Structure 1
């Protein structure tokens, strides 16, 4: 592991103002799973309940003592303080640099951060903006530059955080490693390319970035052709009964086998199983239908994704 740094409470408070949009969080395990060897993220508990993120947690993250995973969307407002673009494939840095340049042409300073297999591109907002608006513009920009977006059949491409336009109350969406954190598996801290590799310089760099205002974002979204905006996916039963949850928004599709997409089961993976990454089958024609061949229940799969079934549905499933 890299040397521990010294972070002040003031730095932690400033970091929280930029990156923390809700008190729910995840933490990367310090020790590898005995079966898989991976350092999984989990939601910490305190007295049997979900622990809330504190300034002390953030301070320890900056120092390198723990590693936090942060959620983008606040479910009370459906707004985000930031947007992150994650890329971890062969052309990852090339695509991220293209996006960074094009964002700069639009007046947006995006910060490029190292990652284990590619990079993360961060956009910071002046105040929280609607998650859907941010996603519309970035998806449009990616399409304009012929940069693939992972999901819905694409097995390679950038991933947008948040991955959803909205998160229902009681759900979490997908977390991403908090900036400047140490990857516990790699034993390495990942810095932003735009400043010297020390905490003071990095925080000063983030402080200097020009934030995107909601009005500026609205002006950019207004330039997006109507056909570029993703249409709502209307699948399954009538609209009154249609679930908001779409599992393809949460998992990386590996391949198609017959009538199904096949990929790793999140619940199996959390337990250190499914190394072949083929336990979960998702219907191509009816993607709200999915099944784990190893027997994981929908409750277990949804919980592993950070999108637990609503209480009423859980009771019905349990009966």
Structure 2
């Protein structure tokens, strides 16, 4: 091959290489701009909360971009939904707090105004002072229950479980409601409890049964009996509270454990719809649960199940 032919072949080779490089750059530029357009379209769809556009190809970088944006959109929508739920929960809590606090605050203000009168007879003044104290105690109980409920809901409170019999906690709960039971001549009868250790926080368990017993005493007729008993199963121990109240319709079994819910039989009865909800929260934090069985006109039985810990 002559020198001229060699130079010509070399030039052709360089020209082919340059052409290949140019074609490669053009292809890369086209893919880059397609990817850039894909990202722009996905970004606009994400900001406008619209469905992602269909990819121009079934595989490769654009589809990978769409997958990433799809995950981002799912996370964004999930967080937005959680934010909406939190906002609605705060709005509901504020509304319920306003409703629940309105009555005791109005009563306290009324009694304070009446007590300002210098012409009140001593007997009437003492009666108003007693009513004022009752409403103040009621407001204090309501606020205590609300703060405890909020602590449990946001996980700020945790039980300190112990593997001990539950009888002591139940007895303290009974003692706390005896004054109200005596006012209605209601007898609280306790059947013999098995000496089986249950995993629970005694203070929390005491409050659970205090709330359930307060409901039982509130709705039970005068002169009736509230019975407490316990039964052991393979993994749980069940403490039952049986009353002779008006009963609960089956369609309300789950509703009565909801926040601020008051059953159809609560008309004319003082209450806020927090006690059973708080009891459920407390028991669930102790890895237990509550059930109810009832028949309208024949009373109700609340069963509190706590983990049964057998001694090795």
If the length of structure 1 is used for normalisation, what is the TM-score?
A: 0.21
Give the number of the structure whose alpha-carbon radius of gyration is greater: 2
**Bigger relative contact order (CA 8 A; separation at least 6):** 1
